[in-house]
Amino acid sequence: RAMFRPGANNEYVTRLGRQLVKKGFGKYYTTGPGPRWGEPDRRGVEAFQRAQGWRGGAADGYPGPETWRRLFS
């Protein structure tokens, strides 16, 4: 989870963003996705989490292990 926080800049953010786009959750990107974590990434992750049926704190927009597993399955 530490890889996906404000100011984070790494290859995992890019991989996550590309997978969000591939799965149909990329509408928040105006450019990218790229390596710097931002609000479009968080909103895309939150939309994906809500699509999984998660609510409240479970749909916080920050990918944990289960979000990552489901997104890449």
Q: In this model, does residue 72 exceed pLDDT 90?
A: yes
- Residue 11 confidence (pLDDT): 97
Rounded Cα gap, residues 26 and 67, in angstroms = 16
Kindly report the pTM of this predicted structure.
Answer: 0.95
The mean pLDDT value for 7-13 works out to 95
What does the pLDDT average to over 11-39? 97
Q: Does the pLDDT value for residue 56 go beyond 90? A: yes
How much is the mean pLDDT over the chain? 96
| CA gap 73, 22 in Å, rounded | 12
What is the average pLDDT across 10-35? 97
Cis peptide before 33, with omega less than 30 degrees from 0?
A: yes
Name the more confident of 48 and 6. 48
Token look-up 């800049």 returns: 9
